[in-house]
Amino acid sequence: MKRLLTITFLCTFPLWFAASCGDQATAVAVNEACKQTENRSVKVEGYFRLPQSSAPPLTGENDPRSYMLLLVEKENGTGSFINVQVPFTGSKERNRLDTLPASYTYNDLHVNTDSGAQVSSGDKVAVTGQVLKDSKACIVRVEKIEKP
């Protein structure tokens, strides 16, 4: 019996170790996100903004079920910014943006956080995602949205 427990422990320990050493997101400032390596997981705080354009906020090149938004450093929209690819949905799914109407304003921007709370463009958020550099501009593909 003791031998069986030892074998079980030795076989499962590497799995526990690997799970505890998973890819942890590195907390970085907005202006530091795109200085990270490709596919690096980062956590960045800022405010969602719609791109200043008359066109819709464009679906992501790599995922047509996402919008390309800006994450800006300061609440008034100034300071550094990065492009973020945020998944959208017609329902209130966590870590997703509600679908925008054809004619929208900043008031239509509603995002569902990881906890299920809803935030808007005036609320500070912390996004966790992967840095992508394979397109024309650096993008953070958002996987998790929190209210700090």
Proportion of the chain above pLDDT 90, given as a percent: 51
Global model pTM greater than 0.85: no
105: pLDDT strictly greater than 70? yes
146: pLDDT strictly greater than 60? yes
- Mean pLDDT over all residues of the chain? 81
23, two tokens: 């890819």
Contact 125, 112 (CB under 8 A): no
Q: Read off the pLDDT of residues 21-43 as tens digits, 9 standing for 90 and up.
A: 456 999 999 999 999 999 999 99
Contact 114, 144 (CB under 8 A): yes
- Can you tell me the distance from the alpha carbon of 145 to that of 148, in angstroms, rounded to the nearest whole number? 9
| pLDDT score of 28 | 96
- Can you tell me the distance from the alpha carbon of 105 to that of 54, in angstroms, rounded to the nearest whole number? 11
